[in-house]
């Protein structure tokens, strides 16, 4: 910058102005500066600007370092499928990027690594004006500290920290509606629910919705899911389906899975066992992943607006950047029931 100033015969202040507020510099001067910059290959240092101005023009996203949930599935599936898989985080990224772009921000993304030298979140936090965190990516303790310094919004997670903005989808509503559909519209009564870990807020909320539907319909209300899966993968879904089949007592008329992955695995397991879906048993998932349309039979599920999650995260961050004093916001995005063949529709 000093070189550019010298070469164009102005002060560094003027060079700075040329880049920040071009109109505040006489056109002729401006041209001279720009030309000098070109000749010298000058690129303004974002770091220095950020340091001096205390703003970066960048928003961030931290997400978990999970292997693809489909990794195991791919082995047995067509390798083509790999390209069709759009990860949850990919869609969040896309949503955030779009919205960030609209507001003139760039997006910094980083997955939390197992054993990074410094926590990834700190790295991101130090380089952005605000950032979003996917549930269970970052130790609550770290978030607590960081969120005192800059806006943080929690996506799809519990309200771990009460002064954070946070966004979730209507998990309970969706599952309740889904179960209601099976009960009222298809007349099913013996329903089994396969959940996730207790610590997974999404899975728990879905189970809650299931319970509500049971209560509403006057059916027995279970205290806990019939089964719980650790990672909610296809393999676990398949195992769960078999376990349910082999369980003593009457076979369930419907199996509700806390996500699509498990439901897809179940579909395959049931086919191997010669159990027809939906004639013998209805199967449902949750998420609305692309795979859910392609499997046979196509999966009845609840679609959650993942990209909008990302978009809203950015909107919240931008709002808070403008008005940091406001009350913490808590958004719940609506979901939609998708009726396909696996429940007996279509």
Partner DNA sequence: ATGAAAGCGCTAACAC
Partner DNA sequence: GTGTTAGCGCTTTCAT
Report the distance separating Cα 336 and Cα 263, nearest Å.
Answer: 17
User: Which of 117, 153, 191 is CA-nearest to residue 321?
Assistant: 153
Q: Which is nearer to DNA, 47 or 296 (CB)?
A: 47
Nearest distance from residue 12's CB to DNA, in Å? 5
Residues 46-65 that bind DNA (CB under 7 A): 48-49, 51-54
Phi, psi of 82 (to 5 degrees): -50, -45
CB contact at 8 A, 106 and 129: no
Nearest distance from residue 252's CB to its own copies, in Å? 28
Q: Considering the rule CB under 8 A, would residue 97 count as an interface residue with its own copies?
A: yes
CB contact at 8 A, 203 and 191: no
Question: Which window, 42-50, 96-104, 136-144, 180-188, contacts DNA (CB under 7 A)?
Answer: 42-50
Spatial neighbors of 166 by CB under 8 A, at least 6 apart, are 153, 154, 155, 157, 159, 328, 329, 330, 331
| Biggest CA-to-CA distance, the chain | 90
10 binds, options its own copies, DNA, none, Cβ within 5 to 8 A by partner type? DNA
Q: Considering the rule CB under 7 A, would residue 145 count as an interface residue with DNA?
A: no
Residues 141-170 that bind its own copies (CB under 8 A): 141, 145-146, 148-150
Number of residues counted as binding DNA (CB under 7 A): 27
Q: Considering the rule CB under 8 A, would residue 296 count as an interface residue with its own copies?
A: no
Vertex 281: Cα angle to 279 and 283 (nearest 5): 115
Contact with its own copies (CB under 8 A) among 3, 7, 16, 49:
49
Q: Considering the rule CB under 8 A, would residue 259 count as an interface residue with its own copies?
A: no
Q: Considering the rule CB under 8 A, would residue 326 count as an interface residue with its own copies?
A: no
E strand intervals along 181-250: 191-195, 227-228
Q: Considering the rule CB under 8 A, would residue 37 count as an interface residue with its own copies?
A: yes
Q: Considering the rule CB under 8 A, would residue 45 count as an interface residue with its own copies?
A: yes
User: Which of 314, 287, 315 is CA-nearest to residue 300?
Assistant: 287
Spatial neighbors of 331 by CB under 8 A, at least 6 apart, are 165, 166, 167, 168, 312, 316
Strand pairing report for 191-195 and 336-338 = unpaired
Question: Which window, 10-18, 80-88, 98-106, 227-235, contacts DNA (CB under 7 A)?
Answer: 10-18
127 binds, options DNA, its own copies, none, Cβ within 5 to 8 A by partner type? its own copies
Q: Which is nearer to its own copies, 5 or 213 (CB)?
A: 5
Nearest distance from residue 285's CB to its own copies, in Å? 14
Q: Considering the rule CB under 7 A, would residue 296 count as an interface residue with DNA?
A: no
Long-range contacts of 54-57 (CB under 8 A, 24+ apart): 55/129, 56/127, 56/128, 56/129, 57/104, 57/105, 57/106, 57/129
Report the distance separating Cα 234 and Cα 221, nearest Å.
Answer: 27
Residues that bind DNA (CB under 7 A): 1-2, 9-14, 16-17, 19-20, 24-26, 29-30, 42-45, 48-49, 51-54
Residues that bind its own copies (CB under 8 A): 19, 37-38, 41-51, 56-58, 65, 80, 83-84, 86-87, 90-91, 93-94, 97, 101, 104, 106-111, 113, 116-118, 120, 122-127, 141, 145-146, 148-150, 288-290, 293-294, 303, 306, 338
């Amino acid at each position: 910058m000093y070189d550019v100033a010298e070469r164009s015969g102005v002060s560094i202040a003027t060079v700075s102005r040329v880049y920040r507020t071009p109109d505040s510099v006489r056109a002729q001067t401006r041209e001279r500066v720009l030309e000098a910059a070109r000749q010298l290959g000058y690129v303004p240092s974002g770091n220095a600007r950020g340091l001096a101005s205390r703003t970066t023009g960048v928003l961030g996203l931290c997400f978990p370092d999970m292997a693809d949930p489909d990794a195991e599935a791919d082995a047995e599936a067509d390798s083509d499928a790999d390209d069709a898989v759009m990860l949850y985080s990919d869609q969040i990224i896309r949503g955030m990027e779009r919205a960030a772009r609209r507001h003139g921000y760039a997006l910094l993304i980083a997955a939390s690594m197992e054993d990074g030298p410094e926590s990834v979140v700190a790295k991101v936090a130090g380089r952005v004006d605000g950032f979003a965190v996917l549930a269970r990516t970052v130790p609550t303790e770290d978030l607590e500290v960081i969120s005192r310094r800059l806006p943080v919004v929690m996506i799809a997670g519990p309200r771990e920290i009460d002064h954070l903005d946070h966004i979730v989808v209507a998990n309970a509503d969706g599952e309740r509606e889904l179960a209601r559909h099976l009960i009222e519209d298809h007349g099913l009564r013996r329903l089994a629910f396969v959940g996730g870990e207790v610590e997974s807020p999404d899975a728990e909320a879905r189970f809650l919705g299931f319970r509500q539907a049971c209560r509403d319909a006057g059916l027995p209300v279970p205290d806990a899911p019939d089964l719980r899966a650790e990672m909610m993968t296809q393999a676990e879904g398949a195992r769960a389906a078999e376990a349910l089949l082999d369980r003593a007592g009457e076979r369930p008329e419907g199996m509700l899975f806390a996500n699509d992955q498990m439901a897809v695995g179940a579909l395959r397991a049931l086919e191997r066992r010669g159990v027809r879906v939906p004639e013998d048993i209805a199967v449902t998932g949750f998420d609305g992943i692309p795979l859910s349309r392609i499997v046979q039979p196509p999966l009845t599920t609840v679609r959650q607006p993942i990209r909008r999650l990302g978009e809203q995260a950015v909107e919240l961050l931008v709002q808070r950047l403008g008005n940091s004093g406001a009350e913490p916001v808590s958004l719940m995005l609506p979901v939609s029931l998708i009726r396909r063949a696996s429940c007996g529709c279509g």
